[in-house]
Structure 1
Amino acid sequence: MRITTAHGIDESSFVPIGGIDQWVSIRGEDRSNPVILEIHGGPGASNLIHIPRTRAWERHFTIVRWDMRGAGKTFSAHGPSGQGELTLSRLYADALELTDHIRARLGVPKVLLLANSFGTVTGLRLARDHPERYSAYVGTDQNIIAGGRDSSAYDALLTRLRGAGKHKQLSRLTALGPDRTAWSPEEWSRYAKTVVTTDPLTYDTMKTVVIRSLWFSPLHTLRDLRAYLKGMTFSEQLGPQAMSLDEYAEGTAFDLPVFLFQGADDVLTPPAPARRFHDALTAPVKDFALIPDAAHFASFRHPDHFLDLLLTRVRPVVTGSAAKG
């Protein structure tokens, strides 16, 4: 975990963002490497727990990991009453403010935007609106919210429950209906948890990757871990806010390179809608890849494969040269 290289960086602190202090970690072995800003998912699921799994990424990139309001150490420091406004618009504004802080702190004109899972809702909007701040966009576990027109993941869940004879769960989920804009935060959370626990590969990834990373994180105390889980519950209110978005209506024209790397067997954010969006968008460079033997959390289940995608497909585009050995 230690970074001892002469030109490395390893600093973590609270940074004033949007009126509250928010936790920001900056790590990398060479400050001349491209800078990545991670937008974590959940909502409320900090990526700090995955640093040991993604340690190799820091040899090729300087990575900024941010516990946004409602998540991780930011939630732990201020509690529920100290998070301020928790809306998608506020997170978007926070991300822009943090981006400018990073650009000034590290002396770079642009940063590479890497968003995963629920973070892709904010990440895609940042990329679309601000090519002057970001060198490229990489989305993984990419959400494509199409104004309620795509219910394929919901339909697949009902089919899976029906086939497994899970009649009580089937009844509860059928009662919700496919219109996610009508769901409460609790219903949105129940749906997501049912998807995760009823798909063997996703459930295995949750147990062996996410929960294991959470439990054995060297950067968190037991108190931090309790706060981590409470932050995720607190942040569930963000889920339904996103369901009325329409990525196609917001725009498919991007003025920066766009990369979508999706788990081939993801049932929470299936690859098919991401592929359709990729095919519809225009960008200076665009690329799509499936990560085999991966459901949701693809980049953390197979961090070496994901790093290879970053080095062979993304880094040459943003730097104009191949990665260093």
Structure 2
Amino acid sequence: MPRKAARLIGVSLLGVAGVLVVVAAAGLGFRAYRQHLAAETLAIRSPKGVQEGGFVDIGGIRQWIQIRGEDRDNPVLLFVHGGPGGSTLAISSGWRPWEKHFTIVQWDQRGAGRTYGAAGDALAPTMTLERMTQDGVELAEYLRTHLHKDKIVLVGHSWGSFLGIHIVKQRPDLFYAYVGTGQVVGRVTFEKQFEITIAHLQALAHSAGNSEAQAELAPIVARPLINPQNRLVADKWSKALGLPSIESVQLAGPIPPPFMPDFSLLDWYNWRKGMAFSAKYLRGREGPMFKRDVASLGLAFPIPVIFIEGDTDYNTPAGPAEQLFNQITAPHKEFVWVHGGSHFIPFERPNEFLAELVTHVRPLAGN
């Protein structure tokens, strides 16, 4: 009887394994089919278009870039992603209309996405703001040569806005303009963000009638200092009270991220690994965004500066960015409010963001 039972169990397990294999194969087949359709949707067919991606030698390592646009004569726009480590390759299908007006370059920074996948943890000693700033300069020089341009436009988002300002400050001659969105100023950005987060949590606790949350949050509301103990309380009630997070972002675009063409399961693995890896060296109280501030670079910019900010950005509140902007001197500067816009305007409201780029940035690009 035990042998018979064992055989039955073995047969059952094989059956379950077979079903799982069939389901997995069907899922992968469906994904491949959707990716094929997505590739057709996103294909650039114009005679003067450009659609390419590959590794480029930058800063002594291979770094991945993607270049897309319908007309090579259009201005080149380098998008410097946030995170740190937050490659945008899989979440940018909403930018397809941008490619009628600009040649869009996406860059997996040192420690991010495919660039991380190519080098792995060996990058650790080089994960510094100074090295990544130089990476950005080298990339801009490469793009000028490769795409036959005198200058390019740099758009920096979140961490990318902090890195982006360092890049344009080091070599302003390479750029027509700097555009910041979700602009990080430095420590004051995160102090303001924490203050706003705690106030939101207290309001949510009040609405929910959660007396325990109100009691724990009250002393922090009175004195919202960023320290380990206060962060633990904030994290606890952010989850319990359902404070909106990055995971709740509503991306706009014709292609859901899991079905983006030429983006493998290995790419997803490296995307997640790269986020964690980059955060280890670039985020937190010991990271450059918290220990340094943009104003220390100097407030005089020899190129145009445009900030495009959402008035409901709770990740990098626009107040510090507006204060910085008011102190900046530049040959041309504009602060553009997107009403109802969050931290993720380029991804949630790409058409609106494009309209601002066409109105405020395209005329500055010289062609």
TM-score range, shorter chain: 0.7 to 0.9
Tell me the SS of whatever aligns to 2:94.
coil
Do the aligned partners of residues 79 and 6 (structure 1) sit closer, same or farther apart at CA in structure 2, a change above 3 Å counting? same
One-letter code of the match for 1:227? N
* TM-superposition CA deviations, 1:25-80 (whole Å, max 9, x none): 11111010001111110000011123311011011101111101111111122222
User: Equivalences for 1:154-169 in 2 at 5 Å?
Assistant: 154-165=194-205
1:105 aligns with 2:105: no
C-alpha deviation, 1:170, in angstroms? 8.8
1:144 aligns with 2:144: no
Alignment partners' CA distance in 2, 1:8 and 1:16: 24
257, 270, 278: which one aligns with 1:227: 270
Which residue does the alignment assign to 2:259?
216
Which residue does the alignment assign to 2:88?
47
Which residue does the alignment assign to 2:319?
272
1:13–1:25 Cα contact (<8 Å) kept: yes
1:245 aligns with 2:292: yes
Which residue does the alignment assign to 1:294?
341
2:216–2:233 Cα contact (<8 Å) kept: no
1:7 aligns with 2:51: no
One-letter code of the match for 1:303? P
C-alpha deviation, 1:296, in angstroms? 1.0
Do the aligned partners of residues 229 and 125 (structure 1) sit closer, same or farther apart at CA in structure 2, a change above 3 Å counting? same
One-letter code of the match for 1:153? Q
Which residue does the alignment assign to 1:323?
none
* TM-superposition CA deviations, 1:293-320 (whole Å, max 9, x none): 2211111111000110011111112227
**Count of aligned pairs between the two proteins:** 316
Alignment partners' CA distance in 2, 1:143 and 1:204: 20
Indicate the percent of aligned positions where both proteins have the same amino acid.
34
Unmatched segments (≥5 aa) in structure 1: 321-325
Alignment partners' CA distance in 2, 1:69 and 1:190: 33
Which residue does the alignment assign to 2:66?
25
TM-score (norm 1): 0.85
Tell me the SS of whatever aligns to 2:307.
strand
1:130 aligns with 2:171: yes
One-letter code of the match for 1:233? A
One-letter code of the match for 2:65? V
* TM-superposition CA deviations, 1:187-246 (whole Å, max 9, x none): 999989987997866557525559x85433223112211221111011102012221112
One-letter code of the match for 2:169? R
Alignment partners' CA distance in 2, 1:70 and 1:101: 20
* TM-superposition CA deviations, 1:63-107 (whole Å, max 9, x none): 111101111111122222356511111110111111111111111
Tell me the SS of whatever aligns to 2:249.
helix
One-letter code of the match for 2:144? R
Alignment partners' CA distance in 1, 2:92 and 2:137: 23
Tell me the SS of whatever aligns to 1:14.
strand
Alignment partners' CA distance in 2, 1:93 and 1:120: 15
Do the aligned partners of residues 208 and 11 (structure 1) sit closer, same or farther apart at CA in structure 2, a change above 3 Å counting? closer
Alignment partners' CA distance in 1, 2:244 and 2:326: 27
One-letter code of the match for 1:224? D
One-letter code of the match for 1:228? W
Which residue does the alignment assign to 1:71?
112
2:90–2:257 Cα contact (<8 Å) kept: yes
C-alpha deviation, 1:183, in angstroms? 7.0
TM-score (norm 2): 0.76
1:62 aligns with 2:103: yes
1:196–1:268 Cα contact (<8 Å) kept: no
C-alpha deviation, 1:108, in angstroms? 0.9
1:307 aligns with 2:351: no
Alignment partners' CA distance in 2, 1:76 and 1:194: 35
Alignment partners' CA distance in 1, 2:257 and 2:233: 21
